[in-house]
């Protein structure tokens, strides 16, 4: 018998709840058939408000309980119901739950009727007037509603493993032959009559066949709470570059029979915030992370496993960060599991945003901490618990309790609590603070001593940038460049502060929000990516901090007309290459090396282009070497900053050329036009080569666009229904003939599907800054499918998919 049964299909949904819905005879023909994850209301891309998803809705489903289940424990788990719910089975209320971001489990054995269908009904309240976190005041994100994470049944024997909490103790540097440096501690909680049973534990490295016994036979002696302590020979550690995972299987055995077993993906690691930095397995690592909201266009929170996992991959592989903060609530286990697998560290926090409510509200908040810690504590990727409501005021009595709960349930992990104030009351282990002090001209961050009340405790920057400089993909170039540069400024400053353990930038993607925030269209354009997970320029600042893939991009399209007075201003190279060669109309201009970057703390900092001439004047004109160098310097200055406010040095060069060398103004103009001025007969072609290990690893060409084409790519094309429908994300961009994004292309796109898939959201959308996206979902049927993407100015693109069920 399969002992976990997913209940994600065949639900009936209504936007209004009626008490009669709990009855078997209720006429469900007026309800809509839906699948989980489900959002109670699909939304437009922007320009809507929270009223659309605020409702008390009803979900119903039949559960067939075969006769064999009689006498077993049948547990119903709902992983995420936003935000408050009452659960009914066969007309009886079996429980309620008051948090939209944690799971709950109910034993339904006694209410089930065996050998027949049972009617399960869930009344879901997604109104923001609820007296539970995060509600009570304003919130800078939409909170959506619905049953948006998995629902399943576990069929257990009367004695079963209620909880297994794993933790490891590691002695770094010990001799593995002699000392057995890794110990596994398992806190096990058993349900039912535990007489005559024993526990067994097995281990195997994930992805390998070799399972070995860790604990042969552990007599529980009738106890229901047991701690097993075992040495683990030859354990590999969970490191961010080699996140070795083990599957640890804990079993309950009676006689010869296995009554229950739980397999936990676990990593052996020691994570520690110390006063001088963060240490993973005793190695100091600067945390470089981003904040992530779990929302998506159209469907809010309701996305299945593949999309959750993809966000972790984007963070680690595309944005090159080593950590993520799940702002401002616990997120999908699928996301966390992927973080475990790829070595992405996580700071996860209790739900809430600035507001602290009354005593009842606080009780619920404490319960949320309890649920968060119990449900997430086996993830090796989680390195810190956030036990303060994000950016709330001090409340020592309240936060003493949240800290106590977290420490009691997980004595091995430290706590933090995100605040907006300096030197506030510190009950946590780590001072976590949103440092929004950088405004483009001020230093990238504040030093630790100006922020924390306790220099002996570690310090972490939990947010920066965000609202300080909202940036749209279709903003003008200098705005987008400033956005990118501010991220570089903060990262560089934090990299230079030895005592700051690291930082999380605000934020990974744009997100829908309430009227009090955002740009008026109910979007906070704070992401380094847009809502479809398309990168903005600032994404390159993160991407270039890793060395897995060569990054090369230019901060400019090189169109001078985009700049005030046609002065280029500062143009930056974003790259992690060994060097970057620049060519203008195939003439070599300059080779830039990482040391040219003014960012001295970053592994790879942006490099400013300061030469558009190279040796051209020296080679082609009749000047002495010194004169050619001076003219080049003056022209390069003018190219970037124009003729007004010339620095003294440039004025002096000009005077010298005219008074001493007799250069006529007309001659100067000709030189300008020949070497700098970008208009005239011949189009200028700029080419950049990223050199890695002596080879050209990447090339970027910038020239006036003459042709464009639509580019689209799906994150995966083999769709598979597992516990529910699958979704593929498609990124769509308009590119020029050199594959450069066309930033001001905002025209419509038509989307159409073929075969057993459906489009999520609208079928007519438009580009935003040369990019947009689509999501398609499976429908429970197998076969070949396709997405067709059409646009008036380009060839149709067709992406083919296969769907297996």
- Chain residues binding ligand GAL by CB under 6 A are 140, 327, 390-391, 434, 463, 466-467, 506, 526
Smallest gap, in angstroms, from Cβ of residue 513 to ligand GAL? 8
Residue nearest to ligand GAL (CB): 466
User: Closest by alpha carbon to 414, among 311, 287, 319?
Assistant: 287
Q: Which residue number, 518 or 755, has a Cβ lying nearer to ligand GAL?
A: 518
User: Closest by alpha carbon to 800, among 708, 710, 719, 711?
Assistant: 719
User: For the CA atoms of the chain, what is the radius of gyration?
Assistant: 30
Smallest gap, in angstroms, from Cβ of residue 355 to ligand GAL? 12
Q: Which residue number, 156 or 328, has a Cβ lying nearer to ligand GAL?
A: 328
Smallest gap, in angstroms, from Cβ of residue 420 to ligand GAL? 6
Q: Which residue number, 97 or 526, has a Cβ lying nearer to ligand GAL?
A: 526
Smallest gap, in angstroms, from Cβ of residue 417 to ligand GAL? 12
Which one is catalytic: 463, 630, 689, 703?
A: 463
Token couple for 592: 């830039």
Smallest gap, in angstroms, from Cβ of residue 405 to ligand GAL? 22
Q: Which residue number, 206 or 467, has a Cβ lying nearer to ligand GAL?
A: 467
DSSP string, 675-740: HT---SSSPP-EEEEEEETTEEEEEEEE-----EEEEEEES-SEEE-SSS--EEEEEEEEEETTS-
Respond yes or no: is residue 363 known to be catalytic: no
Q: What are phi and psi of 86, to 5 degrees?
A: -120, 135
Smallest gap, in angstroms, from Cβ of residue 379 to ligand GAL? 23
Q: Which residue number, 459 or 592, has a Cβ lying nearer to ligand GAL?
A: 459
Sheet holding 500-505, edge to edge: 414-416, 382-386, 345-349, 323-326, 287-291, 500-505, 459-463, 431-434, 418-419
Distance CA(710)–CA(230), nearest Å, equals: 57
Which one is catalytic: 341, 367, 371, 391?
A: 391
Smallest gap, in angstroms, from Cβ of residue 506 to ligand GAL? 5
Smallest gap, in angstroms, from Cβ of residue 332 to ligand GAL? 19
Can you list the alpha helix ranges (DSSP code H) found in 73-157?
A: none
User: Closest by alpha carbon to 268, among 412, 415, 428?
Assistant: 412
Q: Which residue number, 140 or 340, has a Cβ lying nearer to ligand GAL?
A: 140
User: Closest by alpha carbon to 590, among 582, 578, 598?
Assistant: 582
Q: Which residue number, 348 or 575, has a Cβ lying nearer to ligand GAL?
A: 348
Distance CA(209)–CA(614), nearest Å, equals: 60
Q: What are phi and psi of 92, to 5 degrees?
A: -105, 135
Which residues lie below 8 Å from residue 168, measured CB to CB, with a gap of 6+? 182, 183, 184, 185, 232, 235, 266, 268, 269, 270
Respond yes or no: is residue 391 known to be catalytic: yes
Distance CA(538)–CA(526), nearest Å, equals: 10
Q: Which residue number, 267 or 466, has a Cβ lying nearer to ligand GAL?
A: 466
Which residues lie below 8 Å from residue 725, measured CB to CB, with a gap of 6+? 35, 304, 777, 778, 779, 780
Which residues lie below 8 Å from residue 452, measured CB to CB, with a gap of 6+? 422, 423, 426, 431, 433, 459
Count of H-run helices and E-run strands, the chain: 11, 49
Locus of tokens 């620049």: 582
Q: How big is the CA angle at 774 (ends 139 and 790), to the nearest 5 degrees?
A: 140
Smallest gap, in angstroms, from Cβ of residue 469 to ligand GAL? 9
Distance CA(625)–CA(220), nearest Å, equals: 88
User: Closest by alpha carbon to 405, among 377, 383, 433, 430?
Assistant: 377
Smallest gap, in angstroms, from Cβ of residue 514 to ligand GAL? 10
Sheet holding 56-65, edge to edge: 32-34, 11-14, 56-65, 116-125, 84-89, 92-97
Q: Which residue number, 391 or 726, has a Cβ lying nearer to ligand GAL?
A: 391
Q: Which residue number, 511 or 767, has a Cβ lying nearer to ligand GAL?
A: 511
User: Would you please indicate which residues are annotated as catalytic (active-site) residues?
Assistant: 391, 463
């Amino acid at each position: 018998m399969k002992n976990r049964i997913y209940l994600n299909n065949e639900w009936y949904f209504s936007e209004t709840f009626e008490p009669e819905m709990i009855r078997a005879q209720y006429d469900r023909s007026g309800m809509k058939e839906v699948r989980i994850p489900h959002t109670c209301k699909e939304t437009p891309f922007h320009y809507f408000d929270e009223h659309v998803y605020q409702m008390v809705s009803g979900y119903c489903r039949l559960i067939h309980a075969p006769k064999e289940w009689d006498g077993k424990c049948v547990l119903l788990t709902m992983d995420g119901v936003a935000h408050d719910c009452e659960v009914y089975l066969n007309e009886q209320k079996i429980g309620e739950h008051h948090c939209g971001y944690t799971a709950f489990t109910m034993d339904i054995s006694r209410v089930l009727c065996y050998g027949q269908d049972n009617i399960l009904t869930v009344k879901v309240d997604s109104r923001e007037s609820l007296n539970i976190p995060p509600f009570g005041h304003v919130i800078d994100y939409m909170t959506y509603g619905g049953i948006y994470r998995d629902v399943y049944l576990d069929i257990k024997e009367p004695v079963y493993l209620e909880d297994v909490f794993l933790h490891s103790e590691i002695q770094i540097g010990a001799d593995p032959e002699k000392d057995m440096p890794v110990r596994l501690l398992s806190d096990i909680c058993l349900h039912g009559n535990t007489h005559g049973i024993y526990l067994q534990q097995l281990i195997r490295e994930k992805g390998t066949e070799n399972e070995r016994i860790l604990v042969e036979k552990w007599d529980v002696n009738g106890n229901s709470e047991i701690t097993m302590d075992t040495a683990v020979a030859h354990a590999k550690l969970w490191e961010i570059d080699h996140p070795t995972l083990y599957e640890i299987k804990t079993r309950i055995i009676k006689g010869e029979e296995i009554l229950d077993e739980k397999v936990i993906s676990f990593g052996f690691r020691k994570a520690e915030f110390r006063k001088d930095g963060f240490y993973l397995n005793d190695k100091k690592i600067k945390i470089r992370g981003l904040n992530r909201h779990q929302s998506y266009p159209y469907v809010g929170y309701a996305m299945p496993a593949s999309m959750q996992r993809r966000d972790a991959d984007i963070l680690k592989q595309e944005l090159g960060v080593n950590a993520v903060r799940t702002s401002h609530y616990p997120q999908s286990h699928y996301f966390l599991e992927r973080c475990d697998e790829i070595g992405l560290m996580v700071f996860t926090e209790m739900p809430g945003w600035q507001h602290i409510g009354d005593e009842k509200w606080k009780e619920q908040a404490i319960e949320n901490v309890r649920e968060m810690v119990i449900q997430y504590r086996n993830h090796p990727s989680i390195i810190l618990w956030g036990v303060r409501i994000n950016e709330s005021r001090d409340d020592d009595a309240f936060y003493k309790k949240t800290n106590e709960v977290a420490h009691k349930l997980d004595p091995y992990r430290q706590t933090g609590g995100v605040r907006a104030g300096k030197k506030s009351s510190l009950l946590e282990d780590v001072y976590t603070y949103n440092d929004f002090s950088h405004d483009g001209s001020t230093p990238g961050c504040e030093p630790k001593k100006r922020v924390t009340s306790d220099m002996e405790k570690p310090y972490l920057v939990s947010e920066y940038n965000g609202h300080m400089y909202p940036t749209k993909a279709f903003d003008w170039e200098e705005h987008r460049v400033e956005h990118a540069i501010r991220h570089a400024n903060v990262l560089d400053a934090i990299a230079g502060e030895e005592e700051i353990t690291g930082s999380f930038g605000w934020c990974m993607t744009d997100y829908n929000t309430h009227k009090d925030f955002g740009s008026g269209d109910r979007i906070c354009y704070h992401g380094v990516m847009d809502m479809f997970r398309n990168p903005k320029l600032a994404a390159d600042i993160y991407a270039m901090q890793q060395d897995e893939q060569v990054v090369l991009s230019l901060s400019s399209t090189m169109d001078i007309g985009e700049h005030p007075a046609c002065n280029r201003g500062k143009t930056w190279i974003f790259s992690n290459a060994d060097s970057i060669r620049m060519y203008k109309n195939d003439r070599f201009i300059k080779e830039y090396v990482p040391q040219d970057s003014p960012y001295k703390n970053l592994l790879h900092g942006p490099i400013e282009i300061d030469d558009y001439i190279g040796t051209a004047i020296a080679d082609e004109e009749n000047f002495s070497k010194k004169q050619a160098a001076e003219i080049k310097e003056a022209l390069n200055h003018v190219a970037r900053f124009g003729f007004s406010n010339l620095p003294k040095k440039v004025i002096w060069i000009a005077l010298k050329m005219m008074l001493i060398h007799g250069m006529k103004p007309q001659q100067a103009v000709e030189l300008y036009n020949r070497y700098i001025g970008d208009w005239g007969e011949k189009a200028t072609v700029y080419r950049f080569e990223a050199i890695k290990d002596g080879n050209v690893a990447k090339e970027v060409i910038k020239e006036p666009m003459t042709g464009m084409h639509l580019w689209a790519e799906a994150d995966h094309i083999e769709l598979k229904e597992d516990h529910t429908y699958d979704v593929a994300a498609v990124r769509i961009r308009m590119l020029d003939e050199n594959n450069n994004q066309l930033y001001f292309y905002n025209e419509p796109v038509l989307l159409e599907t073929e075969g057993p898939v459906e489009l999520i959201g609208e079928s007519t959308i438009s580009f935003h800054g040369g990019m947009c996206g689509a999501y398609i979902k499976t429908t429970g049927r197998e076969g070949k499918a396709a997405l067709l993407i059409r646009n008036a100015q380009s060839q149709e693109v067709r992406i083919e998919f296969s769907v297996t069920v």
